[in-house]
Amino acid sequence: MTISPHLRVAIQADFPQLAEVMYDAIWNGPSQYTIDQKRAWCPEVRVGNDWNDRLLQQWIVLAESDRHVVGFMSLTSNGYIDFAYIRPRHQGTGLFRKLFQKLEHRALELGETLLWVHASLMAQPAFEAMGFEIVQAEHVDVRGERLSRFEMRKKLK
């Protein structure tokens, strides 16, 4: 019997596991990015003050199963979704939708009228399924590699 992951708001003690989820999703999930692009994007599991300080500025919802974080999404103060990662074995289970619904509810509570994101090539279809529209395709240079992504937006009611 598979137990559905439990959703809750992240606390600082969760930050190391969030970094592990991000790394796992980038390196072990289906990807349209090359090894060199993944190495530029996420060369190692993130740790330290920069990582912690960035996350402390955000509202983060996570999913955990058996006390292990299996996915998370984060919202900044201006309706920006900074992080959206799910461990590969939990992708395609509806977890993205569940995390997004919690995040969208929080955005509405905060009075946000628009959500926006820079979606990776893999995340773009999931955000589109949540009602986001592509504003523009972009290419960003990260550590000497050029990565493609999409700026996407969704108006809230």
- For the segment 24-56, what is each residue's pLDDT rounded down to a tens digit? 999 999 999 999 999 999 999 999 999 999 999
pLDDT attached to residue 1:
38
Query: For the chain, what is the HEC assignment?
Result: CCCCCEEEECCHHHHHHHHHHHHHHHHHCCCCCCHHHHHHHCCCCCCCHHHHHHHHCCEEEEEEECCEEEEEEEECCCCEEEEEEECHHHCCCCHHHHHHHHHHHHHHHCCCCEEEEEECCCCHHHHHHCCCEEEEEEEEEECCEEEEEEEEEEECC
What's the average model confidence in pLDDT over 145-154? 97
Instruction: Using pLDDT thresholds of 50, 70 and 90, give the confidence band for residue 4.
Output: confident
Say if 57 falls within a structural domain: yes
Say if 105 falls within a structural domain: yes
Taking only the tens place, the pLDDT of each residue in 73-121 is 999 989 999 999 999 999 999 999 999 999 999 999 999 999 999 999 9
CATH code assigned at 12: 3.40.630.30
Total tally of structural domains belonging to the chain: 1
Say if 149 falls within a structural domain: no
pLDDT attached to residue 31:
95
Domain hosting 20: range is 6-112
Say if 140 falls within a structural domain: no
